[in-house]
Every structure is written in C-alpha cells, then in structure tokens.
Structure 1
C-alpha cells in the first residue's frame, strides 16, 4: 500500500513537471525567431487578469466579464517592421503547421489565422496571427475557454 502511494505521488509530480515545461505558442515563437525578427513580447499575467476582473466597468458588463474569466494569460508579440511582417507571419504559420497535432486551424483569410489547442472538451489556448497596418501581431490566449468564446472571437 505504501509503495503504491509513493508510486502514485511520484507519477503525479512528474506529470506536473512535464506540464510546466510545455510552452505556449508565443513563447515558442519568441524562442525560435526572437533573434532573427524584431519583436516585442508583452504578457498579461493571471494576477493582472484578476485585477482586470475587479474593475468597476466590468462589474456591470456580464458578457465581457464572463469572457475574461475564461482567460488565464494573454501574450502579445508585436513586430512593427514592415520589411519583416510577411516573414514573421509566414514563420508563425509554419510553426503552427509543424505542430498540427497540437494546433488546429479554426479560421483564416489572407491577413489573419486563428488556431486552437484543446485538452479534452476545453480550449486551453487560442492563437491569433495577423498582419495589419504594416506589422505582425501574435495574440496568444491561455485558459479554459468554451466554444462560444472562440465563435465570438471569429465573428469579430
């Protein structure tokens, strides 16, 4: 009994460590292309998300409040160099294609792509790639999001 308990505890610890090593799309993109493409990465942490939910304007706005509750972290990767925009967009699309088992394309047009990553029934990551106004923007949302959340995002 004692051995079984120790084995289960050990497996749980290893699983937790493995899960913590998993990078989100934005972190992986920055790691691979951060030296060749001029980019800025901004992270809105879980603590900041909690503080945003406490804003008085969100207390009366139930729809946006419910949407924000589903998001744990937001990462914004921005490239403003017009000469690098196309290359940055292509490299991000290529990275998603290389991880097709992990990221599923949900919507696309010539300037925008939306990918999702699921764990079971929940969407745990949404990646928006866009090139606009001569720049490249990668928005990476992590959390436990619903299909309704992604449908609203695609409509906008």
Structure 2
C-alpha cells in the first residue's frame, strides 16, 4: 500500500532540484552513511524542465504548483521501518525550531506525518514521513508551496478503509 501511495505522489510531483545540505533528507542521510538499506532518489533540474514542458490535460493548476518547487528527494527502505521512522522523528525533534507539525496519523501498523518549514509566512520546505509495516519513506520538498498543494499531498496519505 505504501508503494502505491509513493508512486501516486511521485506522479503528482515529478520535479527537480539540487538539494542543499540544509534540507531534512540530507540531514537524515548524513546520520545513516553508509547504510545500504536506504535508497535515495533526487529528481534532477533537467528532468524538472522536461516535466514542465509536458502538457497535462486538466491539471494546469497542479503544474503551476509544481513549477514553484525547487527540489524533491525521496529516501526509502523496506526493512526496519519503525526504527527509521523513530530516527527521523529524532532528527525532526533536534530541528524543532525549524519545522512545525502540519498533519499526522498513527495506528498500530501505520504512521504518517507532514512537517513544514516557513520563512516569512511562506512554506519553503515540506517533510513527509510514512511508515507502513517494515516500509519507511521520507519525501522532502523545497520551494514555494501553497496550502492547496499540501492539502493534495495530505489527501493522498489518508488511510483507506477496507
């Protein structure tokens, strides 16, 4: 189920960027080098340009939102999800002056959190933490994000009633 959501998010937000060492994903990865359980994907600036040149029927507003983003980095693992989730929370706690909670959901088998960083009332960084069973994913966006963009991401994280 987590992979389905991650793929949905990636399809929605194919974007690019050079991620500075100051973003959350970089800080998290620094603590885990050389951990072969973690996979990191960063979308390049050239890929962002190509995506922005595609015509997407009925999704002009989403393309406009994506155009304001600078980067996306995704860190994933399919083992020890709870361990990595807890460690990511520690990184957030250590940087609590930077990030503020936006949304969270937790039960026995799933944990989701969205944290944001603001600068002069603009949301400039968003961190999504997702854990389902042994899977763990961090998706880190930087740029200029609207409340609508974040609401769409949050909606993709809503638990599905079976």
Query: Under TM normalisation by the shorter chain, which class is it?
Result: 0.7 to 0.9
Q: Which residue of 1 aligns with 2:103?
A: 107
Question: Which is higher, the Rg of structure 1 or of structure 2?
Answer: 1
Give 5+ residue unaligned stretches, structure 1.
1-19
TM-aligned CA deviation for residue 149 of structure 1? 1.8
- Number of equivalenced pairs: 134
TM-aligned CA deviation for residue 152 of structure 1? 2.5
Report the CA distance shift for 1:53/1:94 in structure 2 as closer, same or farther (over 3 A).
same
Q: Which residue of 2 aligns with 1:52?
A: 51
SS in 1 for 2:84: helix
TM-aligned CA deviation for residue 53 of structure 1? 0.9
Give 5+ residue unaligned stretches, structure 2.
1-18, 157-162
Moved over 4 A (4+): none
TM-aligned CA deviation for residue 35 of structure 1? 3.2
Q: Do the aligned residues in 2 keep the contact of 1:116 with 1:123 (CA within 8 Å)?
A: yes
Q: Which residue of 2 aligns with 1:13?
A: none
SS in 2 for 1:76: strand
Q: Which residue of 1 aligns with 2:78?
A: 80
Q: Do the aligned residues in 1 keep the contact of 2:100 with 2:117 (CA within 8 Å)?
A: yes
Q: Which residue of 2 aligns with 1:145?
A: 145
Residue by residue over 1:109-132, the C-alpha shift from the partner in whole angstroms, topping out at 9 and shown as x without a partner, is 111000001111211110000012
> Where do residues 121-136 of structure 1 align in structure 2 (5 Å cutoff)?
121-132=121-132, 134-136=134-136
Report the CA distance shift for 1:79/1:73 in structure 2 as closer, same or farther (over 3 A).
same
> Where do residues 1-16 of structure 1 align in structure 2 (5 Å cutoff)?
none
TM-score normalised per structure 1? 0.77
- d(CA) in 2 for partners of 1:70 and 1:88? 30
* Superposition RMSD in Å: 2.0
SS in 2 for 1:109: strand
Tell me, yes or no, if structure 1 residue 96 matches structure 2 residue 96: no
Q: Do the aligned residues in 1 keep the contact of 2:118 with 2:125 (CA within 8 Å)?
A: yes
Q: Do the aligned residues in 2 keep the contact of 1:107 with 1:113 (CA within 8 Å)?
A: yes
TM-score normalised per structure 2? 0.75
